[in-house]
Amino acid sequence: MSVRSSQGRSKPWSSLGRALCAIPLVYFVGVAGFALINAADFAAATPQFLRYVAAPLVLAAAFAWALVANGGKRAAVFGAYGCAVLAALFMHEGVATAQLTRSVSANAAKLYYEGQGAAAFRQTLPPGATARACTSH
Tens of pLDDT along 23-32?
999 999 999 9
Tens of pLDDT along 40-68?
998 899 999 999 999 999 999 999 998 88
Residue 4 CA to its chain's centroid (Å)? 36
118 Cβ partners below 8 Å, 6+ apart? 111, 112
Tens of pLDDT along 87-123?
999 999 999 998 888 888 777 777 666 555 556 656 6
Whole-number pLDDT of residue 82? 93
Rounded to two decimals, the pTM is 0.66
In a domain, residue 131? The reply is: no
**Largest distance between two CA atoms of the chain:** 82
Tens of pLDDT along 69-92?
866 788 888 899 999 999 999 999
Number of independent structural domains in the chain: 1
In a domain, residue 122? The reply is: yes
In a domain, residue 44? The reply is: yes
**Residue-number span of the structural domain to which 116 is assigned:** 12-126
In a domain, residue 1? The reply is: no
CB-based burial label for 109 (10 Å; 0-12, 13-18, 19+) = exposed
The conformational region for residue 128 under phi > 0 = left, psi -120 to 50 = alpha, else beta, is left
